């Protein structure tokens, strides 16, 4: 299951993570965010132990959202070794996300 992350623990959980990380920037009122939510949850199960998957509520955590220039949600950012390696905005299919993770994170 995707874990919640906040402004206060973002650096510890995401930037300092030994595993690659996918962060879903979302809000409860966002229809497209709710549409992509189940995909994020499925990926968190499939990639357990290989990468960490977090969700961050942009309304409750404006600092991190501003730091990464989040202007539209849902936005997903992929981090590896503390560095942003890709950013995707809008609803993404599970197949597309898996392809991007394979290429950008796992080098497949």
Grouped pLDDT means (10 residues each) for the chain, 108 residues? 96 97 97 96 95 97 96 97 95 95 87
Tokens 């920037």 identify what position?
25
In the set 30, 40, 76, 97, the catalytic residue is 30
> Please, which contacts does 33-39 make with residues 24 or more away whose CB atoms are closer than 8 Å?
33/73, 33/74, 35/91, 36/74, 36/76, 36/91, 36/92, 39/92, 39/93, 39/94, 39/97
79 is catalytic: no
16 is catalytic: no
pLDDT of 24: 98
pLDDT of 107: 82
In the set 22, 23, 33, 36, the catalytic residue is 33
- Contact by Cβ (8 Å): 74, 91: yes
Domains and CATH numbers, the chain: 3-102 (3.40.30.10)
- Looking at the DSSP assignment, which residues form a beta bridge with residue 21? 52, 79
């Amino acid at each position: 299951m995707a874990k919640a992350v906040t402004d206060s623990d973002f650096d510890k959980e995401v930037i300092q993570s030994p595993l690659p990380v996918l962060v879903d920037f979302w809000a409860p009122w966002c229809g497209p965010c709710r549409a992509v939510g189940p995909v994020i949850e499925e990926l968190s199960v499939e990639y357990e132990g290989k990468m960490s998957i977090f969700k961050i509520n942009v309304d409750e955590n404006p600092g991190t959202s501003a730091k990464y220039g989040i202007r539209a949600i849902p936005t997903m950012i992929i981090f590896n070794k503390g560095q942003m390696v890709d950013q995707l905005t809008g609803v993404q299919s599970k197949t597309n996300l898996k392809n991007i993770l394979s290429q950008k994170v796992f080098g497949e």
